Amino acid sequence: MSYKKPDNKDLEAMIGIVGKNYATANDAICASYLSKSVMGLESQIPDIVIRPKYPEEIRKILVYCSQEKIPVSPISGGLSGGFACPLIRPGGVVLDLSRMDRIIEIDTENRIAIIEPGVTLGQLWAYMHKHTPEYCPPIPDGAPPSSTVMGDAIDRGFSLVTSSMGPQGDIFMAAEVVIPRGDILYTGSWALPTAKPFYKYGIGPDLWSTLMGSQGTMGVITKVAIKIFPHPEHKTVVVWGMSNPQDMQNLTWQIGNQEFGIAHHCVMVQGGNYPLVMTRWPKEKVPHDYEFYKEIGFSRWWMNFEVWAQTQEELEYTEKRIDEFAKKFMESKECKDPKAIIKQELHPKQIASRLKKPNKIAIPYGYWEAGFLFITWYTPWKDCAEFAEMYNKVLEDHGIAPVMWIASIERCRQAICMPIICFDSTKQEDFEKVQEINRITTEYSIKRGWLNYRPDPYIHAPMMYSQAGTYLKYLREVKKMFDPNFIMHPGRLMLP
């Protein structure tokens, strides 16, 4: 597929649509959008950046770019790092959607918020904290405050309610999507102009699902209705420690498997191993020996259960039940190392800090050396320990700290497993090492039937889609239907 590098005439056309203050080909401005971190390590500088405000402007931009065959990549918060940037040359147009930052409606009766794509976690959290403190938005726990609620959900992320309520993509109820063909499509019940956004499958069959996880390759979402949730004041964090990932997996499953009651109160269930603590500091400025972390109260592995409840009794009951499950598990044959199953008593300040949303907890992994990469996989819950052991071994074999974060989705139906690869991005050989790790682990994972969460276009997507030929064939047809000239985020996924 060949694309046109936009020229002055194209810039003029863009200026004609959004005005001269909101379209530029200034090379310094274009370069500032680049990111080669967090997720995608490869990305390109765009040729033009546009900051539209209205769907109609985006519609005109897409129609023009489609005619001219200019690539378009949408960025809402840009916190998926390199994944939001253009991937091919010419970089084409980047749509910086940060001006589309209106919180249009918070409807507590129907538990819906209607927002534009540029609404950040920090912004929505502060707004609801002020105006509707009894409700909160389902924001990701660890994503920085500048990422967007919409971006996280369309990316199928992990939020503060995912362990209890299900995948983050499920929080969408309806969306307004600008399609490169020149239409504005309404999904969910919004397909019917008179309907409120109360039913996500709309008038059926559901077109929305084709946009989930599309990483900007189908169209541009300009407005969404998302679920909001009660924000009770009774909250705590219960932590159980253990020595190995199997015990972490199996104890947690006991609780998730209850499905009702306490399983629902555990809104966020996430854990990992002690290098998660260690690698948030510079490599040469902290002890590497586990004994140090043991002394300051960390088990080798642990699981955090963040509990939200309407009443104090409910909260205490949930904590008591989690503890009972842990004790029972300790005595069971399934437990590999009963002596290591220990409740970690948290100081109230530690609890308060863990309850903070949004937070900056995942940012300092760049501090260990100079950069990091999240590589995320979905596995059935009962496979997550195997995933962790396999991955950590490969990391250690390559001289990289074995940092593993694992969380439950929908009461241990699935696991989201995320090794954090802390490497030195100033060194080319480290980049190569990371890709080598990626290849080895992807091969293993695909054989085991695990799914990559945000597939990169070099290793994950080709290896995964090559096993799913018919699916890919139809996906391409769907793409062609929305985007006949393949201008949307070319190269991302395995789509042209």
Partner 1 sequence: MERLEVMKKELYRCIHCKACKFTYSGDPSREGVGEYKGVLYEGMVPSCPSGLEYGWESFWNAGRMWIARCIMEGDLEFSENVRDTIMQCITCGMCEVQCENKVPTVDIIESLRAACYFSGVPLIEKHELVSKLVVERNNPYGGDKDKRFEWVKENGLEEYLDKKGAKIAYYVGCTASYRQINIAVATCKIFKRLGIDFALVTKEVCCGSPFFRIGRTDISQDLMNTNLELFKKYEMVLFSCAGCYRTFTVDYPKWIKKELPFKTNHAFELISDMVKDGKIKFKENPELKGKVVTYHDPCHTGRHFYIDTQRKIIDESKNLIFDLRKLNKWKEEWFEKPRIIIRALPGVKFNEMYRIHENSFCCGAGGGVRAGYPDFSLKTSSLRLDEAEAVGADFMLTECPFCWRNLDDANTMYNHGIPVYGILELIDKYDLIAD
Ligand X SMILES: Cc1cc2nc3c(=O)[nH]c(=O)nc-3n(C[C@H](O)[C@H](O)[C@H](O)COP(=O)(O)OP(=O)(O)OC[C@H]3O[C@@H](n4cnc5c(N)ncnc54)[C@H](O)[C@@H]3O)c2cc1C
Report whether 218 contacts 73 (CB < 8 A): no
Concatenated DSSP letters for 240-285?
Answer: EEESSHHHHHHHHHHHHTT-STHHHHEEEEEEEETHHHHTTS-GGG
Residue type, 370: A
Residue 74 contacts ligand X per CB under 6 A: yes
Which stretch, 212-220, 259-267, 324-332, 467-475, contacts ligand X (CB under 6 A)?
212-220
Question: Burial, 188: exposed, middle or buried (Cβ in 10 Å; 0-12, 13-18, 19+)?
Answer: buried
- State the minimum distance, in angstroms, from the CB of residue 20 to partner 1: 13
Interface residue with partner 1, options 31, 104, 192, 468 (CB under 8 A): 31
For 469, residues 6+ apart whose C-beta sits below 8 A from its C-beta are none
Residue 490 contacts ligand X per CB under 6 A: no
Which stretch, 161-169, 204-212, 362-370, 393-401, contacts partner 1 (CB under 8 A)?
362-370
Which stretch, 54-62, 94-102, 180-188, 214-222, contacts partner 1 (CB under 8 A)?
94-102
Cα separation of 161 and 414, whole Å? 14
Residue 166 contacts partner 1 per CB under 8 A: no
Q: Which is nearer to partner 1, 198 or 292 (CB)?
A: 292
E strand or H helix at 95: strand 93-96
**Which of partner 1, ligand X, none sits in contact with 367, Cβ below 5 to 8 A by type?**
partner 1
Residue 122 contacts partner 1 per CB under 8 A: yes
For 292, residues 6+ apart whose C-beta sits below 8 A from its C-beta are none
Interface residue with partner 1, options 249, 273, 359, 438 (CB under 8 A): 359
Interface residue with partner 1, options 17, 79, 112, 322 (CB under 8 A): 79
For 178, residues 6+ apart whose C-beta sits below 8 A from its C-beta are 55, 58, 59, 62, 184, 185, 219, 220, 221, 222
- State the minimum distance, in angstroms, from the CB of residue 76 to partner 1: 12
**Which of partner 1, ligand X, none sits in contact with 466, Cβ below 5 to 8 A by type?**
none
Residue 220 contacts ligand X per CB under 6 A: yes
Return the residues of window 114-153 that contact ligand X according to CB under 6 A. Answer: 117, 140-144, 147-148, 151-152
Cα separation of 86 and 74, whole Å? 9
Cα separation of 231 and 251, whole Å? 27
- State the minimum distance, in angstroms, from the CB of residue 120 to ligand X: 8
E strand or H helix at 179: strand 172-179
Return the residues of window 42-71 that contact partner 1 according to CB under 8 A. Answer: 45, 49, 51
Report whether 59 contacts 177 (CB < 8 A): no
421: Cα separation from own chain's centroid: 16
**Which of partner 1, ligand X, none sits in contact with 83, Cβ below 5 to 8 A by type?**
ligand X
Residues near partner 1 (CB under 8 A), total: 56
Q: Which is nearer to ligand X, 40 or 241 (CB)?
A: 40
Which stretch, 154-162, 197-205, 289-297, 341-349, contacts ligand X (CB under 6 A)?
154-162
Cα separation of 165 and 417, whole Å? 18
Which stretch, 21-29, 80-88, 238-246, 345-353, contacts ligand X (CB under 6 A)?
80-88
3-state DSSP assignment of residue 455: coil
Residue 187 contacts ligand X per CB under 6 A: no
**Which of partner 1, ligand X, none sits in contact with 122, Cβ below 5 to 8 A by type?**
partner 1
E strand or H helix at 221: strand 220-227
Which stretch, 124-132, 181-189, 213-221, 410-418, contacts partner 1 (CB under 8 A)?
124-132
**Which of ligand X, partner 1, none sits in contact with 92, Cβ below 5 to 8 A by type?**
none
Interface residue with ligand X, options 55, 216, 275, 490 (CB under 6 A): 216
Residue 19 contacts partner 1 per CB under 8 A: no
Q: Residues 143, 149, 152, 158: is their CA dihedral positive or negative? A: positive
Q: Which is nearer to ligand X, 143 or 326 (CB)?
A: 143
Cα separation of 49 and 64, whole Å? 15
Residues for the chain: how many in total? 496
Concatenated DSSP letters for 146-171?
Answer: TSBHHHHHHTT--BTTHHHH--GGGG
- State the minimum distance, in angstroms, from the CB of residue 362 to ligand X: 4
Interface residue with partner 1, options 424, 435, 440, 458 (CB under 8 A): 424
For 376, residues 6+ apart whose C-beta sits below 8 A from its C-beta are 416, 417, 418, 452, 453, 454
Which residues are at the interface with ligand X (CB under 6 A)? 38, 73-80, 83-84, 97, 117, 140-144, 147-148, 151-152, 154-155, 157-158, 215-216, 220-221, 362-363, 489
- Judged by the rule CB under 8 A, the positions of this chain that interact with partner 1 are 24, 26-29, 31-35, 37-38, 45, 49, 51, 77-79, 81, 96, 98-99, 122-123, 125-127, 129-130, 144-147, 280-282, 285-287, 296, 356-360, 363-364, 366-367, 369-372, 424-426
